[in-house]
Amino acid sequence: MNQILKKVVASYLVFAMTIQLVLVNGAHADEIKNPASPVLHEKISPLAVGFGNLLVPGLGATLQDEPLTGLTEAALEIGSFYGGTSMGRESRFKIDGSIDIPESGSVGRAATARVLQQFGLKYHFYNTFYHYQQAAIADEESERERNNPQPLYRGTWKDVITAPFQWDNLKSNWTWPIVLGVSAYLIYDYSQSSVTLRRSGLSGGDQTVYGASELIAIPVGSSFGEDPLFRGFIEREARGYTGSLWLAVLAETIPFALLHEDHVTSFLVGSYFGIEADALRGDLGPMMAAHFWINVVIGALDFFQMRRAIGKEAPLNPPVVIQFQLPIF
Amino acid sequence: MMSSLRFLFCLVILVQAMNAWAAKKIPDELQTTIVRLYSEDRCDGVRAIATEIDLTLLRPNVMAVAAYCDPVGKDPEVLFARAEALSPTGDLILVLHGKWEWKHHREKSHAIWEKVLMIARNDYFRSIAKEYLADVVTEASNNQPMDLSPTTEFIRLDVNGIHRLHPQPLELSFLHTNPSNGVSLDAFFSKRKWFPTGSLSLRYETSYDQFVQASEFNQWTNHLESAVALHVASSKDIILTPFIDYRTLGGTPFDFNYGLGMTGAVYRGDYVQSVKALIYTQHIFKSPISAEEGAHYRFEYAWDFYPMLWLITTQFAIDHTSSDPTTSFLGSNGNFEHSNNRFILNCKVERELSRFTFSVDPSISYRLNTDSSSFSRPSDGVVVNVKEEDIEYHVKASVSIPLVKSIKLYAWYEWAHISSNLDENAYVDRNLTDQTVGVGVRTYLSSY
């Protein structure tokens, strides 16, 4: 029995030793013969790629060995955003840009500036998410990626841009109730609020550009750029690091609220979308649809308000107030 | 029975040794010993250890140290190549390789020093690479061991004599000034602690320009930054840099900046690309241009190429300044817009020649205010709207001649021109052409 045991132990040791020598050092020999290309295609932390690109336009692509893509993105993002600053007076930076629509005179240049800034900012937000998404896919075998409670949103830019028009997204219980509820409240509020008559009218061109800014640029920017950035990247990374849904929702909704004009409403909406991202296992489609259509309603009401303010017809006709400014001595 | 047990015991020991080897690990203590022996100029000790172990299992930096010491029966070139393959942007490996190559095949070392210039992440390595390329290194200094402790210091000092046509800062181009001779002192200090995942450093740079005929423009500038560099991949760094700047003019405070920079640098096979964002606030103390203070948002995109004996760098930057408009400026009343966008293109072409380095640095900067300013034209009092547009051109040509190790002679000529639509018909005339010539000595010290 003793002899048999010794033979078994000895055989196991020889077998284990052989396996180790063949497998481990075989791989080692390969590594020496074919050292990896020194600098290309290294895996990089998705967090570094995401935050790097958020703070430095073009860095995400650069870190992923696509320097020309990074340069093109940076040129479009920075160029259109700062190009916008040359077309109107700047005020505080907000998520829709830094140019305000003037309360008197022409609005065409300011509205064009807002469209440009909207494009630059939201394209930057989307690219930040995109590079984060690509880094996370490249790293999907890692323990951190596999253990993240919020699955990665894998939609392409086409999925993102068409999300507001997908029937599956519109019929989701996370979409139509909030769109209808918020719209009803906004329309009621609009019908009850007064409009200040502008001293000068607006040209047809001014009205068109203003309408395009409010009804197209802002809604598309919100679903195309904001949801992938705040819920697809920031919330997901915070969730991966903390494991807590509430901390993750706070991490995305605090900057989301601070960058919007109405902090409280934005905080509530951001929290709702944050919880939705968790409930739908990372699917951002329904929230993009809801975000888009709510902003279309807001944009339409702003546009109607502008038409009323210049004495034109608009639905619901809220009361008009004529303001007189007395000189101060 | 006893003999079979002895056989089994020997087998277990052998397996353990094989396992250790198969696991490809050499104890940290042994690797530390190799580094210590090298630092104590005891390559014989390194060679003794090298005969007992498989050098290819060492960490890349330590492998390069062992290779530098000419281990018996091992080909240092193969070891350096392996260390470089494992750590493609390891600048210490390249420096050791360059020193070894310089000792054995001097001509071949040039290519390695060029590579050091390209990928070195610390100032000292770049400086010594230039000395090797200029052939001012002696056998004794090459054979001196380097200090490989994780904390390094570097100091550079410049002392220059200068002559400048218009000694004021270019922001004050509208002032009338006379040419002046002067002395310029520059100093740079950095202390850095290296970690396997990056480095933490403190850098301070200061310069003092004293003008004999225009002491009201004596200028003292200070820049302090702390950089946290993270190697996000072996050839990619992300660097966070909080910084402050402080400048005095004529002995009184002129401006103060504080902010944060973030850089991403990618060390590719034949060039280095970096992208950087800077967000900072500029406070201009009581000065004619204090209304131009504000928040800066600056983005820089740079590429550095290193063909043999050349250095070509290019940088494109956009700097947005957000300032409040004012109703008076530089003694005039009106509505003045100060927010602006500035587009900047910098280049540098440097050529290593046998005994000196020649470089030309042209740059162009275009400033466009975001809105028009309205003011009364001085000539006829008519109110006009002008959107400020300035173009600044700079060209600097310099020659640097290494005299002995760590000391260079440095001479330069700089031409600067501002072309602005704020001319004699505006509230100030910003147009100016300035020229500077200087000659001096540059020296540096390092803890390496």
Distance separating alpha carbons of residues B90 and B95, to the nearest angstrom = 9
Is the pLDDT score of B147 beyond 90?
Answer: no
What count of Cα atoms within 13 Å lies in the side-chain half-sphere of residue B236? 22
pLDDT band of residue A23 (cuts 50, 70, 90) is very low
Is the pLDDT score of A106 beyond 60?
Answer: yes
Residue A328: predicted pLDDT = 46
Whether B230 contacts chain A with CB within 8 A: yes
The answer to whether the CB atoms of A85 and B370 lie below 8 A apart is: yes
Transcribe B348-417 into DSSP letters.
EEEEE-SS-EEEEEEEEEEEEESS-EEEE-TTT--EEEE--EEEEEEEEEEEEEEEETTEEEEEEEEEEE
| Gap from B370 CA to chain A (nearest CA, Å) | 4
Is the pLDDT score of B34 beyond 50?
Answer: yes
Distance separating alpha carbons of residues B40 and B46, to the nearest angstrom = 11
pLDDT band of residue A278 (cuts 50, 70, 90) is very high
Distance separating alpha carbons of residues A72 and A203, to the nearest angstrom = 35
Distance separating alpha carbons of residues A107 and A232, to the nearest angstrom = 35
Domain coverage including residue A80: 46-321
Rounded to two decimals, the pTM is: 0.80
Residue B188: predicted pLDDT = 94
Q: Which residue's structure tokens are 């200087």?
A: B438
Residue A99's CB: how many other CB atoms inside 10 A?
27
DSSP three-state, residue A268: helix
Q: Residue A63 falls within a domain, yes or no? A: yes
For the stretch B333-370, pLDDT in tens is 899 999 999 999 999 999 888 788 899 999 999 999 98
Contacts 24+ apart (CB under 8 A), B164-167: B164/B211, B164/B434, B164/B435, B164/B436, B165/B433, B165/B434, B165/B435, B165/B436, B166/B432, B166/B434, B167/B209, B167/B211, B167/B214, B167/B217
At A138, list the tokens.
């490249």
Whether A232 contacts chain B with CB within 8 A: no
Q: What average pLDDT does range A232-244 have in this prediction?
A: 96
Best B55, B236, B342 residue to mutate vs chain A (most A CBs within 10 Å): B236
Between chain A and chain B, the number of residue pairs with CB atoms below 8 A apart is 120
Whether B86 contacts chain A with CB within 8 A: yes
Q: How many domains does chain A have?
A: 1
Residue A21: predicted pLDDT = 38
Cβ partners under 8 Å of residue B410, min gap 6: B158, B160, B398, B399, B400, B401, B438, B439, B440, B441, B442
Helices B60-68 & B43-50 angle (0-180, nearest 10): 110
Whether A321 contacts chain B with CB within 8 A: no
Q: Which residue has the higher pLDDT, A318 or A304?
A: A304
Is the pLDDT score of B425 beyond 60?
Answer: yes
Which positions in chain B touch A98 (Cβ < 8 Å)? 322
Amino acid at the residue A233? F
| Gap from A23 CA to chain B (nearest CA, Å) | 9
Q: Find residue B260's DSSP bridge partners.
A: B242, B279
Which positions in chain A touch B264 (Cβ < 8 Å)? 52, 56, 59, 62-63
Is the pLDDT score of A32 beyond 70?
Answer: no
Question: Which residue of chain A comes nearest to B387, CA vs CA?
Answer: A86
Task: Give yes or no for a contact between A78 and A57, defined as CB atoms under 8 angstroms apart.
Answer: yes
Residue A85: predicted pLDDT = 87
Q: What average pLDDT does range B103-117 have in this prediction?
A: 86
Q: Residue A26 falls within a domain, yes or no? A: no
Q: Lowest-pLDDT range, A90-104, A300-314, B244-258, B405-419?
A: A90-104
| Gap from A314 CA to chain B (nearest CA, Å) | 33
Q: Is the CATH number 1.10.3470 carried by domain B20-143?
A: no
For the stretch B282-314, pLDDT in tens is 999 977 899 999 999 999 999 988 787 788 999
pLDDT band of residue A98 (cuts 50, 70, 90) is confident
Q: Which residue has the higher pLDDT, B432 or A43?
A: B432
For the stretch A161-199, pLDDT in tens is 999 999 999 999 999 999 999 999 999 988 888 888 887
Q: What average pLDDT does range B61-67 have in this prediction?
A: 90
Q: Residue A107 falls within a domain, yes or no? A: yes
Which positions in chain A touch B85 (Cβ < 8 Å)? 35-36, 38
Output the average pLDDT for chain B: 87
Q: Residue A163 falls within a domain, yes or no? A: yes
Best A65, A90, A109 residue to mutate vs chain B (most B CBs within 10 Å): A90
Q: Which CATH class is domain B151-446?
A: mainly beta
| Percent of chain A with pLDDT strictly greater than 90 | 62
Is the pLDDT score of B94 beyond 70?
Answer: yes
CA proximity to B93, closest of B119, B60, B117, B124: B60
Q: Residue A39 falls within a domain, yes or no? A: no
Task: Give yes or no for a contact between B341 and A85, defined as CB atoms under 8 angstroms apart.
Answer: yes
Residue A179: predicted pLDDT = 95
Q: Lowest-pLDDT range, B36-45, B222-231, B289-298?
A: B36-45
Is the pLDDT score of B437 beyond 80?
Answer: yes
Is the pLDDT score of B415 beyond 80?
Answer: yes
The answer to whether the CB atoms of A82 and B277 lie below 8 A apart is: no
| DSSP-assigned letter for residue A216 | I
Range from B31-40, B47-56, B276-285 that averages highest in pLDDT = B276-285
Query: Can you say how many angstroms the Cα of residue B143 is from the centroid of all Cα atoms in its chain?
Result: 27
The answer to whether the CB atoms of B301 and A71 lie below 8 A apart is: yes
| Gap from B80 CA to chain A (nearest CA, Å) | 13
The answer to whether the CB atoms of B232 and A44 lie below 8 A apart is: yes
Q: Residue A8 falls within a domain, yes or no? A: no
Residue A3: predicted pLDDT = 54
Whether B266 contacts chain A with CB within 8 A: yes
Residue B40 region by backbone torsions, left for phi larger than 0, else alpha for psi between -120 and 50, else beta? alpha
pLDDT band of residue A324 (cuts 50, 70, 90) is low
Is the pLDDT score of A224 beyond 50?
Answer: yes
Residue A233: predicted pLDDT = 97
Which positions in chain B touch A9 (Cβ < 8 Å)? 8
Distance separating alpha carbons of residues A176 and A199, to the nearest angstrom = 39
Q: What average pLDDT does range A228-251 have in this prediction?
A: 96
Domain boundaries along the sequence of chain B? 20-143, 151-446
pLDDT band of residue B7 (cuts 50, 70, 90) is low
